Structure 1
Amino acid sequence: MSSNAVVIHVRFAPDGTVTEIGERPTSFSAQQWYDKLCNAFAASFMALSGGRGVFRLTAEEVSALKTTALQ
């Protein structure tokens, strides 16, 4: 993983909804931000045990998504 990598942690409730997620703009709910990330970077998501997962992205990808999402 490169030095400009960003790992966004996601935590899911037992019903599959997102309860916590990193790098989230304040104008989005946790679920809305997860949906945006999935639509743009589904292949970068890795499911983990215990109702968790991570997106592994570059800082540029995160910045670009935040910019377009807030417009």
Structure 2
Amino acid sequence: MDTQNVILHARFAPNGTVVEISERPEGLTPQAWFNFLSDKAGDVYQALAGGRGVFRLTREELKALKQAAAPAAA
């Protein structure tokens, strides 16, 4: 079975706060979505140079995380 992978990109300000992150559910700030992902899927995070980082997830994992984050966004 072929699984589709998704890469979620995060960009950080010089002070370490998240200013942009992809696949963010409506109602969550970039920082709140990053914190949620770090808590639930921190093992798939990779820090990159230049104030950036990525989470590597399957489509199914991303869907489940977005559903779990929905109550936090409300």
Which 4+ stretches in 1 moved above 3 angstroms?
none
- Give, in whole Å, the separation in 1 of the partners of 2:69 and 2:11: 21
- Give, in whole Å, the separation in 1 of the partners of 2:69 and 2:43: 19
- Give, in whole Å, the separation in 2 of the partners of 1:68 and 1:47: 24
Q: How does 1:19-34 map to 2 (within 5 A)?
A: 19-34=19-34
Cα distance per residue 1:13-71 (max 9 Å; x no partner) = 00000000000011100000000100011110000000000000011111001111113
> Amino acid of the residue matched to residue 70 of structure 1?
A
> Amino acid of the residue matched to residue 14 of structure 1?
P
Percent identity, aligned pairs only, is 49
Q: Which ranges in structure 2 are unaligned for 5 or more consecutive residues? A: none
Helix, strand or coil at the partner of 2:46:
strand
Q: Which ranges in structure 1 are unaligned for 5 or more consecutive residues? A: none
- Give, in whole Å, the separation in 1 of the partners of 2:25 and 2:42: 19
The aligned residue for residue 47 of structure 1 is 47
